[in-house]
Amino acid sequence: MAKYKFIDLFAGIGGFHLAFHKAGAECVFASEWDDDARLTYEANFRRISPKLFKNENFVGDITKVKKSTIPNFDILTGGFPCQPFSQAGHGKGFKDVRGTLFFDIAEIIKVKKPQAFFLENVQRLHSHDNGKTFKVIERILTEELGYSFYHKIVRASDHGLPQHRPRIFMVGFRDPEIEFVFPQKRELLFNMSDVMGGKVDREIGLTLRVGGKSSPINDRRNWDGYIVNGKPRRLTPKEALRMQGFPASFKFPVNNSAAMRQLGNSVAVKAVHDYAKQIIKSLEKS
């Protein structure tokens, strides 16, 4: 039986689930509203986390869930959407984020009091509204909810994957005495030539995205086009899957276009896994 339990919010196709499962934790609740992403999530996790689906704890819209009904857990995880924070920076605490999806995270932490949280978002969250949004998030998590707060801009390439993908990782513990040591960077496990099966002029690939698909290779919006053996070629879902650190056995019960969109919305699994192991290590030390 797993020592630690976690919940997977804004789950997408399950990058956090996969990373924490590999780290030895059990997912007891997950939330994802997108129907296509739910199909992919269930196709890949019903086998490894059967209780999650048997107990009907894979839900849709988290805003409609009564927070007290969520099963008890130790670690909250989630890559929450960054919606505009209209009142950010005005010292209004929870009122700053009411109406945004971060409020649901804060409310769950307030009600369930987990041992730790691990949140992920786009890099620009740190500078949004001249940094006021981020300060509101930090203040709510620390001053209002009483958790420690560690944060860092992390690239997928820092953790072995050939993709830039800068993201802000935020970690905190209910016990402020718990010390969190950021995982060390690692060398690339493989490069873009390995991914594409031919000579590519860059070791580290572009950040997978949702928009701009099939833009000209020299266009600033291009993220899925590469010169391979001297000829232009587009990424396939199989190749994008590898860039994100998912196993080759990962299944997509959706078309290729939907699969690429889901991968663009996902997390770099190996980066999240390195942090998952470190969070659990910190909890075990305490």
The yes-or-no answer on residue 82 being catalytic is yes
In angstroms, the Cα distances linking 46 to 30, 38, 49, 88, 110 are 12, 11, 5, 39, 29
Q: How many Å apart are CA 57 and CA 164, to the nearest integer?
A: 34
Which position among 43, 59, 82, 122 bears the catalytic label? 82
Catalytic residues: 82
